[in-house]
Amino acid sequence: MALTTGSESIARERTVEVRGTTYRLARLRGSELDAVVPLFRQVYKRSDFTADWLEKKYAGEFQGAGAFSCVAFTETGEPAASLGVLPWPIRCGGRTEVAAQIVDAATGLSHRRRGLFTRLGEMARQLSQVAGMSFMFGFARPQGESYPRLVRNLGYAHIDDLVEYRRPIRTLWGERIMRRSGAVRPLYERYLRRTLGAYRAPDPVFQNSVISEGFAGTDRSPAFYEYKRFGGSRVITADGGRVWLNIKRGLIIGDLEAESAADMGRTTHMLARLGVRLGVHQVLFQASRHTRFSQLAAQHFRASPILAVVYRNLNSEIAADRLRFTFGDLDNF
């Protein structure tokens, strides 16, 4: 089967031969993604990748563009490699475009160094363009395997860096114990819901901080916030303004609306106290360089560059140098 736009026809399935091995490349959506679970568990060594979680993660749809994954299967039907695409609404002033965020790059150990990543990346580019997405972007560790392949083989440009801001917390590590003990998990999750429930924001939707500064960033509508709840994120009230956060290996901040250094200080101290109550060992925040929040966060957190922002234009009218991101823009937030 093929998708057609104008004179362009893009196959949703194709067959390639690499070193005498035949692979079927297919675009998967919805419940079809269940087939990728064994590959993710093998590559990422995590048991919390489930069919239900994947379906929720790939349920986002914006301006008619839906999420999908390009997957390479062996002749026996086993998933060998994957590369996912999530539609991301990006706003710059009065203009909104849908971008394609590249996620979940995974290749089975016995199928590496065969060019599957590059083939899936080009397939993802074609399908994204047909779906009306205007540019592609992703976050990659410069020292990782994906970064040189994206830049060298697929034509992405390194346009920015996310800087991580970290504040350690001295407390009993309840959240770490919970993650390692299935018996304790339900008790901790009830405690977490009850504690954070006291801070629940009456209005859980606030503007992306980078858009407030005049940059281009994710257009976080009520529908977007609702979609991102699949990973456990929530918006709470804080002394310096609302905070979008999640509890995963610490208290991680997706974004916050502190408007001044004083607001940032109040928010930071409040989150540190909350972290003690929740038994998390650190507060983490990530943001693009040269944003107001990067400057404010540097006064309260330890800073270190962590992720490269890579970009490939398709037909966007939003300048790449206007794009800025925060932790909430990562697919695993």
Q: In this model, does residue 25 exceed pLDDT 60?
A: yes
Alpha-carbon span 76 to 91, nearest angstrom: 44
Q: Which residues of 230-256 are buried (b: 16+ CB within 10 A; e: fewer)?
A: bbebbbbbbbbbbbbbbbbebbbbbbb
Task: State the DSSP code for 30.
Answer: G
Residue 179's pLDDT band, with cuts at 50, 70 and 90, is: low
Alpha-carbon span 151 to 310, nearest angstrom: 8
Ordered by where they begin, the domains of the chain are: 2-133 (3.40.630.30), 163-329 (no CATH)
Give me the amino acid identity at 283: V
- For residue 3, the model assigns a pLDDT of 53
Cβ–Cβ under 8 Å, residues 37 and 108: no
Q: Residue range 276-301: average pLDDT? A: 85
pTM of the model: 0.89
Q: Residue range 247-273: average pLDDT? A: 89
Task: State the DSSP code for 200.
Answer: B
Residue 175's pLDDT band, with cuts at 50, 70 and 90, is: low
- For residue 47, the model assigns a pLDDT of 74
Whole-number CA gyration radius for the chain:
20
- What backbone torsions phi and psi does residue 33 show, to the nearest 5 degrees? -70, -15
Q: In this model, does residue 301 exceed pLDDT 90?
A: no
Which residues lie closer than 8 Å to 227 by C-beta, 6 or more apart?
A: 59, 60
Residue 172's pLDDT band, with cuts at 50, 70 and 90, is: low
Which residue's structure tokens are 């609302």?
242
- Greater confidence (97 vs 185) lies with 97
What number of other Cβ atoms are within 10 A of residue 90's Cβ? 27
Nearest to 249 by CA among 191, 332, 145: 332
Cβ–Cβ under 8 Å, residues 89 and 218: yes
Strand-pairing partners, residue 313, are 135
Q: Quick check: helix, strand or coil at residue 142?
A: coil
Which residue's structure tokens are 């005049």?
214
Which residue's structure tokens are 């086993």?
78
**pLDDT, mean over the chain:** 89
